[in-house]
């Protein structure tokens, strides 16, 4: 396809060729993309708009909400509630699900999102992003409830993110590989800039917050120690380290050049399986990584196989280049 393919044309042709994007799902993805354009515009205002700093409130996770967290959440809700493609939405910023109001028709999809991930980076002008996941509403005419959202990540019908960095890029999968679109601000549309994204199975770059080293479990300590030993050690090669503290930016780098990203369980809060949320951070990112030839586990099992018990539950995340993820997972099993 030529590089002048818009998101809309890509979705229409993907439906025509592979039948993976029914009209309602195409509408959903176009609406989410348009909402991300709006969020990108607000993010790019920075100090010139009244969007910086904290909102003086906390979200369901007990985290201080930034003004842009709330703006992004509202943009996504308002963009999606009237279209008739959704039955309900769930967000990191909302305690319970948001059922489409009766004044609008209900559709067959459920949309989950982290409206602005990495928001601790907003005030220091580092890349942040929106992460979204799409599930099918279970059959039946009963009113949609939170239980309908509790589906394993393998049930997703679409997943993606929009990264607000030097470029604003929309990265998407519907189960037919990973595609990337770059926002053309002059046209105001997302243009296809990469298809068939593939992650190298090996890497020399790992991403983890090293300040937590003393809290990690032994398998993670072993893996990182071996990386730090470099070519004189058992790995026989030197490693580089990156940690942007914005999952969207770290995952985007891995999709672009390989690597392994780890936010594992640690003993700071031993009762929590990890920091990242399963439903709207780990699941969409894990599907993208797998669709690009990578792997994603919680150290013990494939993340996409995990059956969620709660909407906001957390999970340990190890994802990226296949051979490295398999090594860390093997260390957990031995």
Q: What SS3 state is found at 73?
A: helix
Residue 263: CB minimum distance to ligand P6P, A? 6
> Of 232-251, which residues contact ligand P6P (CB under 6 A)?
245-247
Of the pair 161, 190, the CB lying nearest ligand P6P is at 161
Of the pair 23, 245, the CB lying nearest ligand P6P is at 245
Among 57, 61, 96, 120, the residue binding ligand P6P under the rule CB under 6 A is 120
CB 133, CB 156: distance < 8 Å: yes
CB 182, CB 188: distance < 8 Å: no
273 binds ligand P6P (CB under 6 A): no
Residue 118: CB minimum distance to ligand P6P, A? 4
Residues touching ligand P6P, count (CB under 6 A): 10
Residue 41: CB minimum distance to ligand P6P, A? 21
- Residue with the CB atom nearest ligand P6P in the bound state: 247
Of the pair 114, 148, the CB lying nearest ligand P6P is at 114
Residue 71: CB minimum distance to ligand P6P, A? 17
Q: Within 10 A of 126 (CB to CB), how many other CB atoms are there?
A: 14
Alpha-carbon gap, residue 190 to 162, rounded angstroms: 11
Alpha-carbon gap, residue 15 to 147, rounded angstroms: 30
Residue 66: CB minimum distance to ligand P6P, A? 10
> Of 123-162, which residues contact ligand P6P (CB under 6 A)?
none
Of the pair 100, 282, the CB lying nearest ligand P6P is at 282
259 binds ligand P6P (CB under 6 A): no
Beta strands in the chain (DSSP E): 54-58, 64-66, 86-91, 98-99, 109-117, 128-136, 158-164, 168-173, 178-184, 189-194, 205-207, 240-241, 260-263, 276-277, 295-297, 314-315, 317-320
Dig out the tokens for 47 from the structure.
Answer: 């100090």
Of the pair 120, 187, the CB lying nearest ligand P6P is at 120
> Of 188-207, which residues contact ligand P6P (CB under 6 A)?
none
26-34, 95-103, 112-120, 325-333 -> range binding ligand P6P (CB under 6 A): 112-120
State the helix-helix crossing angle for 23-45 and 7-18, rounded to 10 degrees.
160
Residue 116: CB minimum distance to ligand P6P, A? 10
209 binds ligand P6P (CB under 6 A): yes
Among the listed residues 180, 179, 183, 178, the one whose alpha carbon sits nearest the alpha carbon of residue 167: 183
CB 161, CB 104: distance < 8 Å: no
Of the pair 33, 128, the CB lying nearest ligand P6P is at 128
- 144 Cβ contact partners less than 8 Å away, ≥ 6 residues apart: 87, 88, 97, 99, 106, 110, 137
Among the listed residues 268, 314, 322, the one whose alpha carbon sits nearest the alpha carbon of residue 295: 322
Among 117, 148, 205, 324, the residue binding ligand P6P under the rule CB under 6 A is 117
Element holding 71 (H helix, E strand): helix 67-80
Residue 114: CB minimum distance to ligand P6P, A? 8
Among 59, 97, 111, 118, the residue binding ligand P6P under the rule CB under 6 A is 118
CB 13, CB 1: distance < 8 Å: yes
43-51, 115-123, 142-150, 295-303 -> range binding ligand P6P (CB under 6 A): 115-123
Binding site for ligand P6P (CB under 6 A): 117-118, 120, 209, 245-247, 263, 275-276
């Amino acid at each position: 396809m030529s590089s002048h393919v818009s998101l809309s044309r890509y979705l229409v042709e993907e439906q025509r060729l592979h039948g993976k994007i029914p009209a309602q799902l195409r509408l959903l993805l176009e609406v989410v993309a348009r909402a991300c354009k709006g969020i990108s515009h607000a993010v790019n205002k920075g100090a010139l708009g009244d969007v910086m700093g904290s909102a003086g409130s906390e979200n369901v996770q007990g985290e201080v909400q930034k003004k842009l967290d709330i703006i992004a959440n509202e943009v996504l809700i308002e963009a999606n509630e009237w279209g008739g493609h959704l039955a309900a939405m769930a967000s990191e910023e909302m305690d319970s699900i948001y059922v489409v109001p009766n004044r609008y028709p209900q559709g067959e999809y459920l949309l989950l999102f982290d409206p602005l991930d990495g928001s601790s980076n907003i005030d220091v002008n580092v890349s942040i992003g929106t992460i979204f996941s799409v599930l099918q509403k279970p059959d039946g005419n009963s009113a949609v409830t939170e239980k309908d959202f509790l589906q394993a990540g393998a049930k997703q019908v679409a997943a993606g993110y929009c990264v607000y960095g030097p470029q604003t890029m929309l990265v998407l999968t519907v189960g037919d590989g990973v595609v990337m679109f770059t926002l053309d601000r002059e046209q105001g549309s997302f243009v296809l800039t990469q298809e068939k994204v593939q992650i190298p199975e090996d890497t020399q770059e790992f991403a983890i917050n090293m300040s937590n080293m003393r809290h990690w479990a032994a398998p993670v300590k072993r893996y990182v120690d071996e990386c730090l030993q470099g070519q004189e050690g058992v790995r026989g090669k030197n490693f580089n380290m990156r940690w942007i503290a914005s999952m969207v930016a770290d995952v985007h780098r891995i999709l672009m050049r390989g690597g392994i990203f780890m936010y594992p369980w640690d003993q700071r809060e031993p009762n929590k399986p990890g920091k990242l949320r399963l439903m709207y951070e780990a699941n969409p990112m894990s599907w993208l990584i797998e669709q690009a030839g990578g792997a994603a586990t919680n150290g013990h099992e494939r993340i996409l196989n995990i059956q969620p018990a709660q909407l906001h539950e957390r999970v340990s995340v190890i994802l990226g280049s296949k051979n490295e993820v398999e090594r860390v997972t093997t260390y957990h099993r031995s």
